């Protein structure tokens, strides 16, 4: 079976996070008709897998089954070298039930201080999964490396963006022009792989 996504296809994006949905829509170049799981009233899927790819696939399959639509899900997060890859797949959980990423960023800073390790290296990972209601699925992963910086800077992104500086850039993801971020981000890299596989 050849899996392809046709332009204009209706997809359910398995998220209740408006910022993430908006960023995915831009990366998808508005070539699809998107509706979010939140807009359809679908419950949030509990992320029980130990990898980004596992969680993305879990969410995509749940949304496809519940909606009867082709589903796109992402699982992404920040990993810090000095914290042995944490928060990683627990990135959203560090923000608590209120999704307070100010709290999450303070937690990262406190854990780094506790670690006593002077290593700012960090990376963002994004896994994207597309699942069809009748079972087939494709999952890919993208990553961008950089470093952590404190205090947080910028309010143009979301999540941990204000404490992450990619590669040789000077601006944090929170300060960067959204179009530039979309061009280089972990989601952009994952989407390039998804595009090669499905479009």
Domain segments of the chain as ranges: 10-198
Class of domain 10-198: alpha beta
Which residues 6+ apart lie within 8 Å of 122 measured at CB? 78, 79, 80, 81, 145, 146, 147, 148, 164
Segment 91-113, tens digit of pLDDT: 999 999 888 999 999 999 999 99
The structure's pTM equals: 0.88
CA 64 from centre of chain: 19
Collect all residues with Cβ–Cβ distance below 8 Å to 136 and sequence separation of at least 6: 1, 3
What residues of the chain score a pLDDT lower than 50?
A: 1
Which positions are catalytic? 75
Question: pLDDT at position 135, please?
Answer: 81
Q: Looking at residue 2, what is its pLDDT? A: 53
Q: What is the pLDDT of residue 44?
A: 85
Query: What span, in angstroms and rounded, lies between the C-alpha atoms of 24 and 72?
Result: 9
DSSP annotation of 154 reads -
Q: Residue 181 has what pLDDT?
A: 92
Question: How many angstroms separate the CA atoms of 157 and 165, rounded?
Answer: 12
């Amino acid at each position: 079976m050849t899996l392809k996504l046709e332009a204009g296809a209706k997809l359910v994006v398995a998220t209740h996070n408006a910022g993430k949905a908006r960023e995915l829509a831009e990366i998808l170049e508005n070539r699809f008709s998107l509706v979010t799981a939140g807009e359809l009233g679908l419950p949030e899927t509990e992320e029980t897998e130990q990898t980004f790819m596992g969680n993305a696939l879990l969410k995509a399959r749940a949304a496809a089954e519940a909606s009867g639509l082709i589903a796109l899900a992402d699982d992404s997060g920040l990993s810090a070298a000095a914290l042995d890859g944490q928060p990683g797949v627990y990135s959203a959980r560090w923000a608590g039930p209120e999704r307070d990423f100010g709290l999450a960023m303070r937690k990262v800073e406190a854990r780094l201080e506790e670690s006593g390790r002077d290593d700012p290296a960090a990376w963002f990972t994004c896994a994207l999964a597309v699942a069809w209601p009748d079972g087939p699925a494709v999952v890919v992963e993208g990553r961008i490396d950089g470093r952590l910086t404190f205090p947080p800077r910028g309010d143009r992104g979301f999540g941990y963006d204000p404490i992450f500086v990619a590669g040789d850039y000077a601006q944090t993801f929170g300060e960067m022009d959204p179009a530039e971020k979309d061009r280089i981000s972990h989601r952009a890299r994952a989407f390039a792989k998804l595009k090669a596989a499905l479009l």
